[in-house]
Amino acid sequence: MTKQLRVLIAQGHRNTTGGNPAEIAITPIAARAIQKALRAAGHIADMVQNDNDWFEGSLDAVGREVVRRHNLAPYDLLLDVHFEGDANNTRGVFAIVPDGDGLRTVSPYLGSDAWRTNTLDQSYALAITREVSAATGPSLRKSGVKLPGVMSERQTGVGSKGYRLAMFGYTAVARDRLVRLVLELGNITGDADIIKSPGFFERAAQGVVHGVQRVLVESNVVSISSAKPVGIPAFGTMMQLRQPLLVTVTVDELNARKWAETNQPIMRMLNAGNSFYARGWIVGETVEGNPLWWVMGRGLPTDLLWRVWSGGTDFGVDDILAMSRKEAA
């Protein structure tokens, strides 16, 4: 196995808020099958609902429970398992990706939780829906989506009315590590014949496992050109500057991320000519041969400490290292 993930699974509508009775009846079967398959593949897979497949609380309470558990022992992936029940009986497998900037929410957050910043969520959504579709039979949903099988939160019935999905709203605070997906395994009416076929839930679960594995394998591919230059400190080494440094972006677009790795959530997008203060730098993921990332801030307690790859700024690796050697002298 490439990597062991910690996965938290929620059974759609199995709470006091309720929902479509036909969906409520089968989400536990699908969720338990996914849990079993993930565990068999070597991952940690926990369930929000109790052993009776029920959560004694509202949908909002489910979102808060996810965050509570994540704070105790961080998860890598949240799968909120559903079956679509729209009035048009739109067929197909799809996953919903967080895209909530500007939508009304009861749980505000700093930074961005938008489609363009949730790139890892998109990767999991693409891989999982494709593998589930291939394993079970329903096609990928192609209408009302950003990509075949991948829908933006804004394209949902709730999002189109200007509101966040409760699950995404409450869990936005955990997005620096937690990939969050609402997974729709087909239309409860339009895909009924397929959903009711023998072995459907087990095949869907295997599709989820294969999708997860696909992302993990692809994220572990390292090119020769990404080798760390000689003389660079160990990964995770952080150096603080005596005085904050004004840094300018020199590429068309540069992302400020939560941590110094390209699979981390994008907190802000910077454009060419934008400037920001750096309080130091850290050795992170090597990108195009450069592993140095700026740590944003002015040395204040309120600094957000977001990471920005130095390769897209007006200071090169040699400049940064020389600067640090001079300060240490």
The dihedral through the CA atoms of 120, 122, 127, 131 has a sign that is positive
Residues 33 and 121 in one domain: yes
Looking at 166, 185, 219, the residue that finishes a domain is: 219
* Backbone φ, ψ for residue 185 (5° rounding): -85, 15
Count CB atoms within 10 A of the CB of residue 37. 22
Q: Are residues 88 and 155 in the same domain?
A: yes
The CATH number of whichever domain residue 306 belongs to comes to 2.30.30
- Among 165, 190, 219, the domain boundary falls at 219
For the chain, the first-to-last Cα distance in angstroms comes to: 47
- Are 188 and 81 contacting, i.e. CB atoms less than 8 angstroms apart? no
| 298 and 151 in a common domain | no
Strands 77-84 and 6-11: parallel
The dihedrals phi and psi of 16, each to the nearest 5 degrees, come to -70, -15
* 1 in a structural domain: no
Q: How large is the C-alpha radius of gyration of the chain?
A: 22
CA dist., res. 329 & res. 324, Å (int): 9
Residues 132 and 232 in one domain: no
* Residue 38 lies inside a defined structural domain of this protein: yes
Asked whether the whole model's pTM tops 0.85, one would answer: no
Strands 94-97 vs 150-152: parallel, antiparallel or unpaired = parallel
Domain-located, residue 235: yes
Distances (CA, A) of 148 to 62, 95, 304: 29, 10, 35
Please tell me whether residues 19 and 155 are part of one structural domain: yes
Residue 230 Cα distances to 123, 281, 282, 323, 325, angstroms? 32, 17, 16, 17, 16
To 5 degrees, how large is the angle CA 19–CA 25–CA 29? 125
15 and 139 both lie in a single domain: yes
Separation CA 5–CA 212 (nearest Å): 9
For 44, the enclosing helix (H) or strand (E) is strand 44-47
Whether residue 231 sits in one domain with residue 214? no
Range of the domain at 292: 225-328
- Structure-block tokens of residue 99: 């895209």
In-domain check, residue 150: yes
Helix, strand, coil percent content, the chain, rounded in steps of 5: 35, 25, 40
Whether 63 and 95 share a structural domain:
yes
Give me the number of domains the chain comprises: 2
Low-confidence spans in the chain with pLDDT less than 70: 1-2, 219-230, 324-329
E-strand stretches of 274-314: 275-287, 290-296, 307-309
Site of tokens 């029920």: 54
Last residue within a domain, chosen from 162, 192, 219:
219
C-alpha distances out from residue 193 to 103, 138, 189, Å: 36, 10, 8
CATH value at residue 104: 3.40.630.40
- DSSP for 242-286 reads EEEEEEEB-SSEEEEESSSSTTSPEEEEEETT-EEEEEEEEEEEE
Residue 300 gets which letter from DSSP?
-
